Structure 1
Amino acid sequence: MTTPRPSRQRRKLVIGGLAAALLAGAGATGPAMAQEPLKIGFIGTLSGPAGALGQDQYDAFMLAIKQKGGKLGGVPVTVIREDDQLKPDQGVQAATKLIKSDHVPIITGVTFSNVMMAIHKPITDAKVFLIGSNAGPAPIAGKSCSPFFFSTSWDNDQLHEAGGQLTSDLGYKNVYVMAPNYQAGRDAVSGFKRDYTGKIIDEVYTQVNQPDYSAEIAQLQAAKPDAVYVFYPGGMGVNFVKQYRQAGLLGKLPLISVSTIDGSTLPALKSLAIGAITSAPYAPNLDNPQNQQFVQAFVAAYKRQPSMYAAQSYDAANLIDSAVAKVKGNVSDADALRAAFKAADFKSVRGAFKFASNQFPDAGFFRVDVVKGADGAELKAVSPIRIQKRANFAAACPLK
């Protein structure tokens, strides 16, 4: 039996209906694809004694996204959060999941340098952009730099070059130095030595997350230094400063620190930390419009003052926002996206901000004192630190 052919009019109706359906489908697919969320991985230390540091990073990053209506660069964003637990192997697992299972084109955060050293190469070798907002181990600022890594913080040596310069400026001739025994601790002492012009009586390395420093405090007392310089981030800093105060030393034997008494630890220390002097890349009272609105928004959202970890992560979000906007959401074009990151076309809470050739920032540091405040104590930027000597890691970095 022969199937009757449809009439010419019927064929026109069928073809027209099919075309309309295809056009309708394309119209529905286009905007849906354009609005598909950009996945961003966040890796940080979110638990344990140092968990407050990573939480500050995460909270500030999410605050920036909220301020932009859930978008970065005009594109909706989904943030996939991973806790590295301050364990390099856990960090590698998190990075592997984000790259292979979640297929993220950008990862940010990273609190501690031992984790950064473990995950930097796997992430950048996969050609995924890593926007660090705290950890800055010296090797990745030099010969192990990558075109896929940018930092909104500092390299570890740079952070402590400012501390060494401040200690010299204060006139202390004999200093006792202490730090935890891991990458950032060793970088801290290296950077401090570069700009400190006096004598180091002793340099002592303690265990990561060591809770009791009574033996070391007794030893430093016996050494009779002019001042003590320490680097103890997170819970380590809280424990050390409390025990230093209990020993009757704070206010008697000058304490200069970096990343020890800051916005993440001051809520636990309060008035116990008054009188300490710190070197820092950030303080809540920095006088620029971007910082003023950031502090107001952060306090309103989280009921606490922002730390440098929060500030650096807020900058990371705004850097990503500027880059994604420049490439019009096309993050698959790696060369264009890298150029957009390198342009650093955003307003930093730290003030003037630009990238050096190794894609670490060329930004300032400040003397920040712990003074009496409404909540017992607060951090107050007093003056810029003019660093005399800096490690030229960028010279060993092959990037252009």
Structure 2
Amino acid sequence: MTLTLPRRSRARTAALLALVLLAASACADDGPAAGSGGTVKIGLLASLSGTYQSVGKDIRDGFQLYLSGHDGKLGGRTVELVVADEGNGAATAVPAATKLLKQDRVVALTGVVGGGSVAAVYPLLNETKVPFVGSNGRPELKDVSRVWHTSYLSDEPGEAIAAHVRDDVKGSVYAIGPDYQGGWDELRGFTEAFAAAGGKLANPDGKTTFTPFPATTNFTPYFARIKASGADAVYTFYAGGAAVDFVKQYAQSEIKDVPLYAAGFLTEGGVLDAQGDAARDIYSVLNYSPDLDNAENREFVAAWKAEHDGSPTTYAMASYDAAAVLDRAIAAAGDDATPEKINAAIGQLGQIASPRGTWQFSPTTHAPVQKWYLRQVRQDGRALSNTVVGDLATVGG
């Protein structure tokens, strides 16, 4: 049976439908979604495949852990979290970020593992005017007005440990790392600060040895060079699968008794489980360890262990903090949580309570001013762990 509306009712219905369609069209052309209707859309880009898959998963899981502990909300708004795979670098990161920023129209972007990916995605942030709250290393950028990081700048770990290595080794140090943006930044931070502190590199040309990335899986030829240099210690940066290969081969090499110092990513998280006893006694520098004794860390570690095997990593912690930053900023942005208002609110946050200890954004770099810790791989019950053995420098600003 067909019902026929009176002519006046049909006219009113048509007019109402036209208004609804007009409003929908305006919203579709209005840039990033502003979180209307009590929701907010956040984009998370991380390496969920490739060499740094374990890092990317920790970044994703750290952010989701914060959400699960806050009823799935940030700033009082229900979060629609759109997750995309960064892959192995810029070639896959850029199209994934383009979809998040232009098609999904997120109000903020977070995550990103690789420094090269950050540099490649950076122009999109300026184009779309969306703030980025990164949770892993970052290279230097000219304009950070929409770029924030809850982790570190990529040269800071090496900078923080350089003076300690000079004092501890009292001899020459061989610097080696992967040949890509992250490796360049990480090793530059160490070598420049080491030289400024009066340290001497054992590398024959006085320059860091860079290994092809991701092609290098056999490090034996490089260990022969280190032995020939007469180095008293080695400083390195590797992460992910390359860190497992490097550490296992180092422990079986002719330089196995040469002390090994590293940016903490060499033994962080799941790679330590894969390295096993080969990682024992390695010294590293990092901004976080699960054994830090403060209320925020105890709560964070307990929540993580309730949902995951093992202890949380610095990647998970920084992403957890990124969610905390966005939580406060979205709340401060008020009813109309646009990207511009969220970005402005981040700059006004001040001190942030964190599992790593209290920190705040540098007004110039938009990266944390924070303490760095000296760690050593030691036995902790039945397992090996990165145990804090001392405080290093406070870096940032």
Please state which band the TM-score falls in when normalised by the shorter chain.
0.7 to 0.9
Offset at residue 86 of structure 1 (A): 1.4
CA distance in 2, matches of 1:118, 1:341: 23
CA distance in 1, matches of 2:134, 2:126: 12
Are 2:173 and 2:201, in contact at CA under 8 Å, matched by a contact in 1? Answer: yes
CA distance in 2, matches of 1:92, 1:127: 16
Return the match for 1:340 from 334, 342, 345.
345
Mapping of 1:158-237 within 5 angstroms? Answer: 158-196=156-194, 197-202=198-203, 203-209=208-214, 210-237=216-243
Offset at residue 378 of structure 1 (A): 0.6
**TM-superposition CA deviations, 1:295-336 (whole Å, max 9, x none):** 1111111112111111111111111111111123532161x3
Are 1:74 and 1:329, in contact at CA under 8 Å, matched by a contact in 2? Answer: no
Return the match for 2:366 from 322, 335, 359.
359
Q: 1:22 aligns to what? A: none
Are 1:366 and 1:384, in contact at CA under 8 Å, matched by a contact in 2? Answer: yes
CA distance in 2, matches of 1:295, 1:169: 33
Residues 1:107 and 1:375: Cα distance change in structure 2 (over 3 Å): farther
Return the match for 2:58 from 38, 56, 61.
56
Q: 2:387 aligns to what? A: 380
Structure 2 spans left out of the alignment, 5+ residues = 1-8, 14-19, 21-34
Q: 2:275 aligns to what? A: 269
Q: Which residue type is aligned with residue 345 of structure 2?
A: A
Q: Which residue type is aligned with residue 172 of structure 1?
A: K
Residues 1:381 and 1:343: Cα distance change in structure 2 (over 3 Å): farther
Q: 2:28 aligns to what? A: none
Are 1:111 and 1:135, in contact at CA under 8 Å, matched by a contact in 2? Answer: yes
Mapping of 1:314-329 within 5 angstroms? Answer: 314-329=320-335
Q: 2:315 aligns to what? A: 309
Q: 2:262 aligns to what? A: 257
CA distance in 2, matches of 1:300, 1:266: 20
Offset at residue 375 of structure 1 (A): 4.1
Mapping of 1:1-80 within 5 angstroms? Answer: 35-80=37-82
Select between 157-166 and 227-236 the one with higher mean Cα deviation. Answer: 157-166
CA distance in 2, matches of 1:247, 1:218: 9
The structure with the largest alpha-carbon Rg is: 1
Matched, 1:284 2:290: yes
Q: 2:306 aligns to what? A: 300
Percent identity over paired residues? 30
TM-score, with length taken from structure 1 = 0.85
Return the match for 1:121 from 120, 123, 135.
123
Q: 1:107 aligns to what? A: 109
CA distance in 1, matches of 2:150, 2:170: 31
**TM-superposition CA deviations, 1:1-47 (whole Å, max 9, x none):** xxxxxxxxxxxxx9xxx9xxxxxx9xxxxxxx854431111111111
Q: 2:100 aligns to what? A: 98
Are 2:56 and 2:113, in contact at CA under 8 Å, matched by a contact in 1? Answer: yes
Select between 58-67 and 120-129 the one with higher mean Cα deviation. Answer: 120-129
